[in-house]
Chains A and B, each alone.
Chain A
Amino acid sequence: MDVILLSSVETIKKIHEIEERARRIIEEAEVQAEGIRKKVEAEAEKIRGEIAERARRESEETMKRASADIGKKALDVRKEAESKVKSLKEKASMNMDKAVNRIVEEVLGVKP
């Protein structure tokens, strides 16, 4: 097998070329890594935004559902009160004579 010998200048030149290629490989990798970092920062921001938006929608939905539910409960309270008033009116109508007699009795001091 023939051995090719290189002169010192050629050797230095060759090694310099190789080192230049190596430097470019690393530089390209650094650029690529920087690209990945920049891209991921935007992606992370997007993730934050999406989750925050989803939480906002869910909270809004919770409030909307709760408002309807509260409105219904408040309406039930009012209906219950109306029903109670109706029942009181019926009783008052039935017992009005008794109550009036009692007042008249108190004023006159004798049973009317």
Chain B
Amino acid sequence: MSAEVVLKIGDEILADAQAEAKRKIEEAEKYASELKEKARLEAESEAEKAKAKALENVKLLEGRKLSEARREASLHILKERNTMISSAFQEAVKRLKDMVNEEAYLRSLSSLIETSVKQLGFNELKIKLNAKDLRRQAEIIKRLKLPPTVKITVDKDPVSALGGFIISTPDERIKIDETFEAKLTYAERKFKKEISKLLFGE
């Protein structure tokens, strides 16, 4: 074979080898480029998911914290309102303590006893007073305008109360508690809303 032919064949073999080498390197570079792009896209997608999750967590946290803050604020306001309403009742107790020495109290006592007698509808009744009123029971009884058939007995044992009375049938099966304490307890339940309106102008 001539050297020229061998050289030509050799050149072809080398050219093929170089082409194959180039193809392999290009393939590797293409793979590299695709892998990098794929990694970038996947990572970006994961990053977006993580950021969305963080935002979701922020919203949840905000909802929870603000709801907690609002609940605490409402409780604080409610507590303060109740404290102020209680102050009004405490102030009323002080005023009532002072009033038991006044004519207005005796007038009120007489009027309330007369009303209670009518409500009970019995001719014989027993009344309990506190120690101070027991001492002036004659004055209290004297003020009463009752039907002549009604007989009232004053219990000798004083009732523990700031003022007012307990009126009952002699056997105490039916009674009306008109002591200040009982009326205040009732008023606190029944008039809390009204007192709140009066205090806060709502």
Q: Nearest chain-B residue to A44 (Cβ)?
A: B39
B66 and A73 form a contact (CB under 8 A): yes
Q: CB within 8 Å of B: which of A49-82? A: 50-52, 54-56, 58-59, 62-63, 66-67, 69-71, 73-74, 77-78, 80-81
Assess the B51–A107 pair: CB atoms within 8 A.
no
Give complex CA distance A110, B69 in Å.
45
Instruction: Please give the distance in Å from B51's CB to the nearest CB on chain A.
Output: 6
Instruction: Check B198–A98 contact: CB distance below 8 A.
Output: yes
Q: Are B25 and A32 in contact (CB under 8 A)?
A: yes
In Å, the complex CA distance between A9 and B24 comes to: 33
* Residues A89 and B1 in contact in the complex (CB < 8 Å), given A54-B47, A95-B198: no
Interface stretch among B11-19, B119-127, B128-136, B167-175? B11-19
Q: How far is it, in angstroms, between the C-alpha of A71 and the C-alpha of B14 when the chains are bound?
A: 74
Q: Measured between alpha carbons, how far is A63 from B53 in the docked complex, in Å?
A: 11
Q: Which of chain B's residues has its CB closest to A35's CB?
A: B28
Chain B contact surface mostly: helix
Per the 8 Å Cβ criterion, residues 155-202 of B in contact with A are 164, 180, 183-184, 187, 191, 194-195, 198-201
The size of the chain A interface, using a CB distance under 8 A, is 72
A112-B95 in contact given A80-B73, A102-B195, A102-B198 (Cβ < 8 Å)? yes
B3 in complex: contacting residue of A5, A37, A50, CB < 8 Å: A5
Given A102-B195, A103-B92, verify A109-B40 contact (CB < 8 Å). Answer: no
A-B contact pairs, 11 of them (CB 8 A): A4-B4, A6-B1, A8-B1, A18-B14, A21-B17, A73-B69, A88-B81, A88-B200, A103-B187, A108-B104, A109-B112
Interface contacts beyond A30-B24, A55-B48, A110-B104: sample of 12 additional A-B pairs, CB < 8 Å, sorted by A: A11-B1, A22-B13, A29-B20, A29-B22, A32-B24, A73-B62, A73-B69, A88-B200, A103-B184, A106-B187, A109-B112, A109-B115
